[in-house]
Structure 1
Amino acid sequence: MESPAVMGQVRSAAAAYATDGHEPAAITDRTSGLLAEIDPDLLVTCFVLRFDPADDVSWQRAVARLSTSCSRQ
Protein backbone atom coordinates (compact mmCIF):
# COMPACT_ATOMS: atom_id res chain seq x y z
CA MET A 1 0.00 0.00 0.00
CA GLU A 2 1.26 3.49 -0.82
CA SER A 3 2.43 5.72 2.03
CA PRO A 4 -0.02 8.58 1.33
CA ALA A 5 -2.94 6.15 1.39
CA VAL A 6 -1.83 4.65 4.71
CA MET A 7 -1.28 8.07 6.28
CA GLY A 8 -4.69 9.19 5.04
CA GLN A 9 -6.34 6.22 6.73
CA VAL A 10 -4.36 6.71 9.95
CA ARG A 11 -5.12 10.45 10.04
CA SER A 12 -8.83 9.87 9.41
CA ALA A 13 -9.04 7.16 12.07
CA ALA A 14 -7.19 9.25 14.67
CA ALA A 15 -9.40 12.25 13.93
CA ALA A 16 -12.54 10.13 14.26
CA TYR A 17 -11.41 8.68 17.60
CA ALA A 18 -10.54 12.17 18.85
CA THR A 19 -13.91 13.51 17.74
CA ASP A 20 -15.57 10.70 19.70
CA GLY A 21 -13.86 12.10 22.81
CA HIS A 22 -11.23 9.43 23.42
CA GLU A 23 -8.09 10.23 25.44
CA PRO A 24 -4.76 10.35 23.51
CA ALA A 25 -3.73 6.87 24.75
CA ALA A 26 -6.99 5.36 23.49
CA ILE A 27 -6.65 7.20 20.18
CA THR A 28 -3.21 5.71 19.54
CA ASP A 29 -4.21 2.25 20.78
CA ARG A 30 -7.26 2.13 18.52
CA THR A 31 -5.32 3.51 15.57
CA SER A 32 -2.63 0.91 16.19
CA GLY A 33 -5.27 -1.79 15.94
CA LEU A 34 -6.42 -0.41 12.60
CA LEU A 35 -2.85 -0.27 11.32
CA ALA A 36 -2.23 -3.88 12.38
CA GLU A 37 -5.29 -4.92 10.36
CA ILE A 38 -4.06 -3.06 7.28
CA ASP A 39 -0.55 -4.54 7.45
CA PRO A 40 1.28 -5.54 10.66
CA ASP A 41 4.64 -4.60 9.13
CA LEU A 42 3.71 -0.95 8.54
CA LEU A 43 5.33 1.82 10.54
CA VAL A 44 3.93 5.29 11.20
CA THR A 45 4.90 8.05 13.57
CA CYS A 46 2.12 9.85 15.38
CA PHE A 47 1.84 12.63 17.94
CA VAL A 48 -1.46 13.27 19.71
CA LEU A 49 -2.04 16.39 21.75
CA ARG A 50 -5.21 17.44 23.50
CA PHE A 51 -5.38 20.95 24.85
CA ASP A 52 -8.24 22.54 26.74
CA PRO A 53 -7.63 26.29 27.03
CA ALA A 54 -10.32 26.57 29.70
CA ASP A 55 -8.37 24.27 32.02
CA ASP A 56 -4.92 25.27 30.77
CA VAL A 57 -3.99 21.57 30.87
CA SER A 58 -2.62 19.47 28.06
CA TRP A 59 -2.13 15.74 27.59
CA GLN A 60 0.07 14.20 24.99
CA ARG A 61 1.28 10.87 23.77
CA ALA A 62 3.96 10.30 21.19
CA VAL A 63 4.04 6.99 19.39
CA ALA A 64 6.89 5.83 17.20
CA ARG A 65 5.52 2.50 16.00
CA LEU A 66 1.76 2.31 16.11
CA SER A 67 1.56 -1.23 14.80
CA THR A 68 3.21 -2.60 17.95
CA SER A 69 2.05 0.19 20.29
CA CYS A 70 5.55 1.15 21.41
CA SER A 71 4.86 4.45 23.05
CA ARG A 72 6.06 7.08 25.43
CA GLN A 73 3.65 8.97 27.57
Structure 2
Amino acid sequence: MVAFDLILPGLDSSGPRRVLQKALGGEARMQVVATDRRRECVTLHVEVPSRSLSDVIGVVTSRFEQATLGHATTFTLRR
Protein backbone atom coordinates (compact mmCIF):
# COMPACT_ATOMS: atom_id res chain seq x y z
CA MET A 1 0.00 0.00 0.00
CA VAL A 2 1.22 3.47 -0.89
CA ALA A 3 -0.17 6.41 1.10
CA PHE A 4 0.46 10.09 0.46
CA ASP A 5 -1.00 13.57 0.70
CA LEU A 6 -1.55 15.61 -2.43
CA ILE A 7 -2.11 19.37 -2.39
CA LEU A 8 -3.99 20.62 -5.45
CA PRO A 9 -4.90 24.11 -6.59
CA GLY A 10 -8.60 24.98 -6.46
CA LEU A 11 -11.33 24.17 -3.98
CA ASP A 12 -13.22 21.50 -5.94
CA SER A 13 -11.70 18.05 -5.50
CA SER A 14 -14.18 16.11 -7.64
CA GLY A 15 -12.25 16.45 -10.92
CA PRO A 16 -8.85 15.47 -9.48
CA ARG A 17 -10.43 12.55 -7.61
CA ARG A 18 -11.92 11.21 -10.86
CA VAL A 19 -8.55 11.55 -12.62
CA LEU A 20 -6.76 9.74 -9.79
CA GLN A 21 -9.40 7.00 -9.59
CA LYS A 22 -9.10 6.34 -13.32
CA ALA A 23 -5.29 6.47 -13.35
CA LEU A 24 -4.66 4.50 -10.14
CA GLY A 25 -7.53 2.03 -10.34
CA GLY A 26 -10.78 1.40 -8.59
CA GLU A 27 -9.13 0.29 -5.36
CA ALA A 28 -7.54 3.68 -4.72
CA ARG A 29 -9.10 5.52 -1.78
CA MET A 30 -9.14 9.30 -1.43
CA GLN A 31 -10.46 11.72 1.12
CA VAL A 32 -10.27 15.47 1.53
CA VAL A 33 -8.28 16.23 4.68
CA ALA A 34 -7.99 20.02 4.33
CA THR A 35 -9.42 22.90 2.37
CA ASP A 36 -7.49 26.17 2.44
CA ARG A 37 -9.73 28.96 1.18
CA ARG A 38 -7.06 31.61 1.66
CA ARG A 39 -4.57 29.83 -0.61
CA GLU A 40 -7.34 28.25 -2.70
CA CYS A 41 -6.13 24.67 -2.49
CA VAL A 42 -7.36 21.32 -1.29
CA THR A 43 -5.38 18.47 0.31
CA LEU A 44 -6.28 14.88 -0.45
CA HIS A 45 -5.05 11.86 1.46
CA VAL A 46 -4.65 9.01 -1.02
CA GLU A 47 -4.12 5.29 -0.38
CA VAL A 48 -3.30 2.96 -3.27
CA PRO A 49 -2.95 -0.81 -2.88
CA SER A 50 -0.96 -2.95 -5.29
CA ARG A 51 1.20 -0.19 -6.78
CA SER A 52 4.83 0.72 -6.25
CA LEU A 53 5.82 4.11 -4.89
CA SER A 54 7.63 5.06 -8.10
CA ASP A 55 4.59 4.07 -10.19
CA VAL A 56 2.27 6.22 -8.06
CA ILE A 57 4.63 9.20 -8.17
CA GLY A 58 4.87 8.85 -11.95
CA VAL A 59 1.09 8.85 -12.32
CA VAL A 60 0.65 11.89 -10.06
CA THR A 61 3.39 13.98 -11.63
CA SER A 62 2.26 13.21 -15.17
CA ARG A 63 -1.32 14.30 -14.51
CA PHE A 64 -0.99 17.18 -12.07
CA GLU A 65 1.68 19.73 -12.99
CA GLN A 66 0.76 22.18 -10.24
CA ALA A 67 0.24 19.67 -7.44
CA THR A 68 2.46 19.32 -4.39
CA LEU A 69 3.14 15.75 -3.34
CA GLY A 70 3.44 15.48 0.42
CA HIS A 71 5.12 12.76 2.44
CA ALA A 72 4.61 9.39 0.77
CA THR A 73 5.03 6.07 2.53
CA THR A 74 4.60 2.39 1.76
CA PHE A 75 3.36 -0.28 4.12
CA THR A 76 1.92 -3.77 4.12
CA LEU A 77 -1.48 -4.62 5.52
CA ARG A 78 -1.66 -7.88 7.44
CA ARG A 79 -4.91 -9.73 7.72
Shorter-normalised TM range:
0.3 to 0.5
Greater percentage in strand:
2
TM-score (norm 2): 0.38
Larger helix proportion of the pair: 1
